[in-house]
């Protein structure tokens, strides 16, 4: 699943075609009859599919899965790259007594926040991925949310300039301070599990009933 900055870059690149009418369709799809797209107006920037427009321009989609959907637009209040992102709702979600790494990947509150962003911002804010949000200070949650929004915005700007991402913890064997990095597969019971990288020394877990953070020895 692509992360928010990748999706937003795609949307910005294809936005000039929004509102134009499809004049001709090429390519193929097993999911839909591509000829059904003829004469339709592009409502939003969304196989190997080629859409030719009346203006003379065209869009080519490679290696994508296509299907009809009635409501392609996400709630801007949950979009981490939207000006309408609902900060209060996101903070309420982060305060839940669940591992913070689970909450960050909940697309109901953090649409576009994927596994790379999750790993990076938890390291940058020195928070262990399994620490329950309810055990973190409000200032720590504010800082985590600020980091999520800033990291996502910075990553998008790097993408638009053709620059790559240089992760500090994601898929690394050592953190920037030279500590060994641990890796585990975490996720809610019965839900999809994601690989997580963290530094036990830089990201001590806050355990219930303890006043001071303690390192994880798993």
Residues 48 and 93 both lie in one domain: no
Res. 218 pLDDT band, cuts 50 70 90: very low
pLDDT value at position 11? 59
Residues 107 and 36 both lie in one domain: no
Contact 128, 204 (CB under 8 A): yes
C-alpha radius of gyration, the chain, whole number = 21
The token pair that represents 217 in the structure block: 């020895």
Reduced 3-state DSSP string for 22-34: EEEEEEECCCCCH
Q: b/e string for 145-157 if b means 16 or more Cβ within 10 A?
A: bebbbebbeebbe
Q: What is the CATH number of the domain that holds 96?
A: 1.10.8.50
pLDDT value at position 15? 59
Total domain count, the chain: 2
Which residues are CB-contacts of 127 (< 8 A; sequence separation ≥ 6)?
100, 136, 140, 144, 203
Classify residue 205: in a domain, yes or no. Answer: no
Classify residue 216: in a domain, yes or no. Answer: no
Res. 206 pLDDT band, cuts 50 70 90: confident
Mean pLDDT, the chain, integer: 79
Residues 115 and 190 both lie in one domain: yes
pLDDT value at position 21? 65
Which residue did the predictor score with more confidence, 77 or 33?
77
Classify residue 131: in a domain, yes or no. Answer: yes
Residues 92 and 194 both lie in one domain: yes
Residues 12 and 54 both lie in one domain: yes
Classify residue 80: in a domain, yes or no. Answer: no
Longest dimension (CA), the chain: 66
Residues 154 and 118 both lie in one domain: yes
Residues 95 and 189 both lie in one domain: yes
pLDDT at 212 over 60: no
Classify residue 28: in a domain, yes or no. Answer: yes
35 DSSP 8-state letter: G
Contact 157, 182 (CB under 8 A): no
Classify residue 69: in a domain, yes or no. Answer: no
Across the range 191-205, mean pLDDT stands at 93
Render pLDDT for 20-63 as a digit per residue (tens, 0 to 9).
666 556 555 555 555 555 544 444 444 375 666 777 777 666 55
Render pLDDT for 102-137 as a digit per residue (tens, 0 to 9).
999 998 999 889 999 999 999 999 999 999 999 999
Residues 180 and 91 both lie in one domain: yes
Q: Rounded to an integer, what distance in angstroms lies between the CA atom of residue 119 and that of residue 4?
A: 15
Classify residue 57: in a domain, yes or no. Answer: yes
pLDDT value at position 81? 85
| % the chain with pLDDT above 70 | 64
pLDDT value at position 18? 62
Contact 18, 44 (CB under 8 A): yes
Res. 68 pLDDT band, cuts 50 70 90: low
Classify residue 72: in a domain, yes or no. Answer: no
Residues 94 and 185 both lie in one domain: yes
pLDDT value at position 157? 86
Given the structure tokens 């303690």, which residue do they identify?
Answer: 214
Across the range 74-85, mean pLDDT stands at 85
Q: Rounded to an integer, what distance in angstroms lies between the CA atom of residue 180 and that of residue 72?
A: 42
The CA–CA distances, whole Å, from 136 to 17, 130, 143, 165, 204 equal 45, 12, 11, 28, 12
Domain that holds residue 122: 87-198
Residues 132 and 172 both lie in one domain: yes
Q: Rounded to an integer, what distance in angstroms lies between the CA atom of residue 58 and that of residue 22?
A: 9
Render pLDDT for 134-178 as a digit per residue (tens, 0 to 9).
999 999 999 999 999 999 999 888 888 888 888 999 999 999 999
């Amino acid at each position: 699943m692509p992360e928010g900055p990748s999706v937003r870059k795609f949307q910005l690149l294809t936005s000039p075609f929004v509102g134009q009418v499809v004049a001709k369709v090429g390519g193929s799809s097993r999911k839909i009859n591509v000829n059904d797209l003829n004469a339709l107006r592009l409502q939003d920037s969304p196989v190997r599919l080629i859409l030719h427009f009346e203006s003379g321009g065209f869009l080519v989609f490679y290696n994508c899965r296509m299907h009809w959907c009635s409501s392609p637009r996400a709630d801007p209040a949950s979009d981490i790259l939207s000006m309408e992102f609902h900060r209060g709702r996101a903070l309420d979600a982060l305060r839940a007594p669940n591992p913070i790494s689970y909450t960050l990947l909940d697309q109901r509150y953090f649409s576009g926040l994927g596994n790379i962003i999750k790993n990076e911002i938890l390291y940058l804010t020195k928070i262990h991925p399994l620490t329950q949000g309810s055990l973190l200070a409000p200032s720590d949650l504010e800082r985590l949310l600020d980091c999520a929004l800033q990291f996502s915005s910075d990553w998008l700007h790097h993408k638009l300039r053709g620059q790559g991402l240089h992760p500090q913890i994601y898929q690394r064997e050592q953190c920037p301070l030279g500590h060994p990095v641990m890796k585990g597969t975490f996720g809610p019971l019965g839900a999809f599990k994601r690989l997580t990288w963290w530094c036990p020394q830089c990201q001590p877990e806050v355990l219930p009933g303890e006043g001071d953070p303690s390192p994880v020895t798993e």
